[in-house]
Amino acid sequence: MCGIYGYFDRGGRSLQARALAAMDASLVHRGPDDSGVHAVAGAAVANRRLSIIDLAGGHQPFVSADGRIALVQNGEIFNHVELRAELQRDGVAFASDHSDTEVLLRLYERCGMDFLHRLNGMFAIAVYDARDADAPVLHLARDRVGVKPLFVHDDGARVLFGSEIKALLAALPRAPRLHLPALQHFLAYNYVPPPLTLFDGVRHVPPGCLLSVDRHGARLRRWWSLAEQQPESTDFDRWRDEFLALYDDAVRLRLRADVPFGAFLSGGVDSSSVVALMARHQREPVRSFCIGFDDARFDESPYARDAARRFGTLHRERVVAPDLLDEWADALWHCDQPHGDASFLPTLEVARLAAAEVKVVLTGDGGDELFAGYDKYASFAADPALAALPDAEFARAYVEHTGLFGAAARDALLQPWLKARLRGVDSVADVAAPWFDEVRHFDRVNRMLYLDMMLLLPGNNLVKPDRMGMAVSLEARTPLLDWRVMEFAFRARGDTKLRDGDKKHWFKRAVEPLIGPELAHRRKQMFTVPVGEWFRGSRKAWLHELLFAPDAVGARLFDATTLRRLFDDHASGAANHTRELRALAAVELWARRFQPEIPT
């Protein structure tokens, strides 16, 4: 686990040393153990390292013997042991004892960027290749589903890249302008859907994609697509056996580390099954971590204790202060963008608890998107009118049902000048519809899940464990997002996942022998905090000051009457606008910290 950064200048001009140093300093939290840079005229690839594998020999960048190829990565390659052994059988020599990053360099030397298909891991990789001195190239690759972040800024002359946006900002002369279409999409989805960001000119490298940059331009191609899966029919027993074998191996591979590791344990079906499989492969008890709240509506700690007793873990639990909003601004700084999701705050707290004892945790992230675990899937699918909707209308209905501000609500919220600037920007047609179109061969349950795999996971739900973990230098690993598990999950019919309102239908049955019926079938509890109640009580004045300050960014973007109505109706109890106010507050806190230029 690390942070990577660097640049490629098409005119061969070198970035100033102080700019590279600022990029490095912006990512220290991602890699406090070590740093390294390979710099030549007009390019650099660099790394901040959190030492997890081969503590002594894993220094990055790794550079070829002739000095013309340099490689850095953020993440871990879980099958590096097998890949190294294969290369050694072919006569490839290694300088490190067992660094997974050196394996990447040796693979690249043999087969170029096609080596990506052979990796089982979470990664963002940068390769600078100057073997052709007249045509050097920078390759930037991201893992299949975007567990590890990677951002770029390309002004036509120079490309900057980094694991976090703040690394790019450190090298730019001023903060970019607010990207207005991305703001509209944030209001629609409650997060900024990738590859866009709220900074004009800054974009994600999309998951499963490779961006190759040279002196003539940049070429983006997808090297992996979940949409290539074809639906299959099978019986439950066969499905269960194959799934559990894949899941077990995904967990086994993610236990490879040279440092202490543990797991987040909420007592939910995903984290409990991860811990159950960890316990199979460890001689020592699993170290598990959970936070609790005084408010029983949001407190999962009793279920976590039940799971900890069942699996014999060394369990650490801490009851945290119910009001976490003083942490919000710092959490958004780590995220680089606003998120309306309040669960970032308790995730930061449990990461702090774990980081006091371990450097790596396994989590259950991804299970809800793979196997239809959210209430929104069941509530949306329960509408009998959906069956008659054409595909385009189905996509729009899903976004309106699960998103934040619908089209009419956004129209009322935005100021007239901003509505005029955004005329023709459609948050469904421009963002969701292309993903739905890719999987017309999927049933509609799997289409919903596919959209969330492509947008919600890399745009929000994987940002949470990465950024909140990295804030305290903790690596999070996600066995349910092993590529083999993902592909297997999308070969299964939708009715194996959501059947008559029963979420994770086959998944829960499959893991029940591992975790017991009480944990397998207990009602899902959202990992969140009661922000809406605070906005009516102890934090009402705080929210008012934030939203209605004379210098508030919302005063320039949002209709004052609509904003006032949202606040007043919520504060009085006449309506519940928790999600809307939470998102608007996140925009304000983010804008105060990052100070983007507001277009006029």
- Residue at 599 is within a domain: no
- Could you tell me the two tokens for 596? 């983007």
What would the two tokens of residue 52 be?
Answer: 């997890």
CA atoms of 550 and 257, how far apart (whole Å): 51
How many angstroms separate the CA atoms of 182 and 197, rounded? Answer: 6
Write the burial class of residue 523 (CB in 10 Å: 0-12 exposed, 13-18 middle, 19+ buried). Answer: exposed
Do residues 316 and 290 lie in contact, with contact meaning Cβ atoms separated by under 8 Å?
yes
Domain edge (last residue) among 492, 521, 550: 521
Q: Can you state the angle between helices 344-355 and 328-335, rounded to 10 degrees?
A: 90
Same-domain status, 275 and 199? no
**Three-state secondary structure readout of 188-216:** HHCCCCCCCCCECCEEECCCCEEEEEECC
What are the beta bridge partners of residue 171?
Answer: none
Instruction: Report the C-alpha gap between 23 and 125 in whole angstroms.
Output: 17
600 within some domain: no
Amino acid at 331: A
* CA pair distance 467, 166, nearest whole angstrom: 12
Same structural domain, 180 and 278:
no
For residue 526, is it within any domain? no
223 and 117 Cβ atoms separated by less than 8 Å = yes
Out of 448, 475, 493, pick the residue that ends a domain: 448
187 and 167 in one domain?
yes
Name every residue whose Cβ is closer than 8 Å to that of residue 137 and which is 6 or more positions away in sequence: 128, 129, 212, 213, 214
Query: Phi and psi of 71, rounded to 5°?
Result: -135, 140
Co-location of 514 and 585 in the same domain: no
Sign (positive or negative) of CA dihedral 421, 424, 425, 426: positive
CA distance 449 to 446: 5
Distance CA 407, CA 384 (A): 23
**Which residues does residue 122 pair with via DSSP β-bridges, in sequence order?**
76
Phi, psi of 310 (to 5 degrees): -60, -40
Task: Give dist(CA 24, CA 22) in Å, integer.
Answer: 5
Per the CB < 8 A criterion, the answer to whether 202 and 176 are in contact is yes
One pLDDT digit (tens) per residue for the chain, 600 residues:
689 999 999 999 999 999 999 999 999 999 998 899 999 999 999 999 888 887 778 899 999 999 999 999 999 999 999 999 999 999 999 999 999 999 999 999 999 999 999 999 999 999 999 999 999 999 999 999 999 999 999 999 999 999 999 999 999 998 899 999 999 999 999 999 999 999 999 999 999 999 999 999 999 999 999 999 999 999 999 999 999 999 999 999 999 998 999 999 999 999 999 999 999 999 999 999 999 888 777 788 889 999 999 999 999 999 887 688 999 999 999 999 999 998 999 999 999 999 999 999 999 999 999 999 999 999 999 998 888 899 889 999 999 999 999 999 999 999 999 999 999 999 999 999 999 999 999 999 999 999 999 999 999 999 999 999 999 999 999 999 999 999 999 999 999 999 999 999 999 999 999 999 999 998 876 666 788 889 999 999 999 999 999 999 999 999 999 999 999 999 999 999 999 999 999 999 999 999 999 987
Cβ neighbourhood burial of 318 (10 Å; 0-12, 13-18, 19+): middle
Q: What is the dihedral of CA 465, 471, 474, 477, to 10 degrees?
A: 20
What one-character DSSP code corresponds to residue 300? -
pLDDT at 220: 98
Query: Which neighbouring-strand residues pair with 212?
Result: 139, 219
What is the predicted pLDDT for the residue at 12? 97
Both tokens of residue 501?
Answer: 């309102």
Residue 533: count other Cβ atoms within 10 Å of its Cβ: 14
> Do 190 and 116 lie in a common domain?
yes
Q: Which residues pair with 263 in a beta bridge?
A: 288, 362
Residue 215 lies in a domain: yes
- The CATH number assigned to the domain holding 286 equals 3.40.50.620
**595 contacts: CB under 8 Å, gap ≥ 6:** 175
DSSP reduced 3-state for 481: helix
Half-sphere exposure of 201 (CA within 13 A, CB side): 17
Q: Are residues 67 and 114 in the same domain?
A: yes
Q: Please tell me the distance from the alpha carbon of residue 365 to that of residue 464, in angstroms, as a whole number.
A: 10
The CA distance from 326 to 320, in Å, is 13
Residues 514 and 576 in one domain: no
Q: Are strands 360-362 and 261-264 parallel, antiparallel or unpaired?
A: parallel
Point out the domain boundary residue: 224, 241, 273: 224
Residue 89 included in any domain: yes
Q: For the purposes of burial, counting CB atoms within 10 Å of the CB of 118, is it exposed (0-12), middle (13-18) or buried (19 or more)?
A: middle
Whether residues 46 and 132 share a domain: the answer is yes
Q: Are residues 340 and 353 in the same domain?
A: yes
| CATH number assigned to the domain comprising residue 206 | 3.60.20.10
For residue 80, what is the DSSP state? H
Is the domain of 262 the same as that of 350? yes
Q: How far apart are CA 351 and CA 259, in angstroms?
A: 16
Same structural domain, 398 and 515: no
Q: Are residues 55 and 156 in the same domain?
A: yes
When computed from its CA atoms, the radius of gyration of the chain, rounded to whole angstroms, is 24
Which domain range does residue 73 map to?
2-224
Q: Which residue carries 């700690």 as its tokens?
A: 301
Among 368, 366, 362, residue whose Cα is nearest residue 477: 362
CA dist 171 and 20 (Å) reads 7
For the chain, what is the domain count? 4
- Position 64: which residue type? S
| In a domain? residue 325 | yes
Closest Cα to residue 128, out of 62, 80, 83, 77? 62
Is the whole-model pTM more than 0.85? yes
What does DSSP assign to residue 362?
A: E
